[in-house]
Amino acid sequence: MCNNKYKKIITKKLVKQTRKLLEEKGRELLETAKKVVLEEKIECSEIREALQYFMKQYWQDLTTPTLLSLSCEAVGGSSEDIKSIAVPLIIISGAIDIHDDIIDRSKTKDGRATVVGKFGKEIALVVGDLLLVNGFILLNKACGRIPNVKFSRVIEDIKTALSELADAESLEILLQRKKTIKPDEYLHVVRKKAADIEGLMKVGAILGEGTENEIKALGRYGRGLGMLSILRDDLIDLMDFREIRHRIKYECLPFPLLYALENPAVNSIIASASLRKKGDINLILDAIEKSGGFRHCKQVMDSIARESYSALKIIKYQKTNLTLLIDFMLHIWEEVEFTTI
């Protein structure tokens, strides 16, 4: 069995490989999307400033173009086939991100002020709406340049993915109003929220002229990858004092904590945690560990990962890079292990 030092070396290599992949596949398209948005003529100085802040300093969506490229190439297509579609989908993704921050009242993320935190929710709402409108106009133009059969399928899959995502966001808001949330209820929402990643994988495969089986397989892979990403974020939030305080006050609790709260004894320990200083978070982490919350979350993520790995069996190309993304989602357990030992 490898020691902790060796595990850390593996983890660093995995992170480096993933970042390199995202940069290679996503950077050019992201910069193109930023340029398109910033060319928009905006008279209101506050909206213009907020838009420039979001695009120049905050927004780093390398995931959307990377997944589109990988799924297209996975079925034998070329990354050139997805360029016109990638730009509007990046912009739409940015709009959704801003609207999510408004709903969650997130003023900071990863140590940076969100548009909501820097400019207020009214300005953030207008900026999000502006991006959404521009994104869909560009998407309509892009789809108009592809064959009718592909056009219909691409639009339908995007509509399905975004509709399910909106439904998931609504269900999550309702869950936040409940006194107690069952872990399975939360997982149901997590699965629905992963619809956007499934949609991206399907769209890329369609543009790459994949077979029906390949499109479905990459869709299943995307659903799993999206779920792993959300659960990974849950774990990261648990390690961040400010994030966990914010989630306790305004959002659904992270999955491992919801599982821990199923135990009445642990529930009372967590309820007693004041979270007034950073050290208080250790009470919650210890309670989650003792209740098996981390172990259960890992089992769930491992099961999802197996399904995603299995979906790639029929895929001929880019399998190494697609597998890398799943591995990256699971590497978070090295960090959790070091934190809780």
Residue 1 lies in a domain: no
Statement: residue 148 has pLDDT above 80: no
Q: Are residues 325 and 267 in the same domain?
A: yes
Most confident among 10-19, 84-93, 330-339 (mean pLDDT): 84-93
d(CA 75, CA 69): 10
Number of domains making up the chain: 2
CATH at residue 68: 1.10.600.10
Q: Please state the length of the chain.
A: 341
pLDDT at 243: 84
**Residue 88 domain-assigned (yes or no):** yes
Residues whose CB is less than 8 angstroms from the CB of residue 12 and which lie 6 or more positions away in sequence, other chains included: none
Q: Give the pLDDT mean for 134-152.
A: 85
If you compute the radius of gyration of the chain from its CA atoms, what whole number of angstroms results? 20
Q: What's the rounded mean pLDDT across residues 302-315?
A: 97
> 3-state SS string over 2-29?
CCHHHHHHHHHHHHHHHHHHHHHHHHHH
CB 239 within 8 A of CB 218: no
* Local confidence band at 217 (pLDDT 50, 70, 90 cut-offs): very high
| Number of neighbours of residue 67 by Cβ within 10 angstroms | 30
Say yes or no: 333 and 191 in one domain.
yes
Q: Report the C-alpha gap between 147 and 200 in whole angstroms.
A: 19
pLDDT one-digit tens code per residue, 88-142? 999 999 999 999 999 989 998 878 899 999 999 999 999 999 999 999 999 988 8
Question: Of 289, 157, 264, which Cα lies nearest the Cα of 218?
Answer: 157
CA dihedral 68, 329, 302, 106 (to 10 degrees): -100
Same domain, 199 and 122: no
Residue 295 within a domain: yes
In one letter, which amino acid is 278?
A: K
Last residue of a domain, one of 91, 111, 145: 145
Q: What is the structure's pLDDT at 334?
A: 72
Tell me, what's the pLDDT at 27? 95
Q: Which domain does 281 fall in, by range?
A: 147-341
Average pLDDT over all residues of the chain: 89
Whole-number pLDDT of residue 299: 96
> Could you tell me if 151 and 139 lie in one domain?
no
Q: Are 51 and 40 contacting, i.e. CB atoms less than 8 angstroms apart?
A: yes
User: Is 113 in a helix, a strand, or coil?
Assistant: strand
Distance between CA atoms of residues 46 and 40, nearest Å: 14
* pLDDT interval class at 2 (50, 70, 90): very low
Indicate if the pLDDT at residue 191 is higher than 70.
Answer: yes
Q: Does residue 271 carry a pLDDT above 70?
A: no
pTM over 0.85? The answer is yes
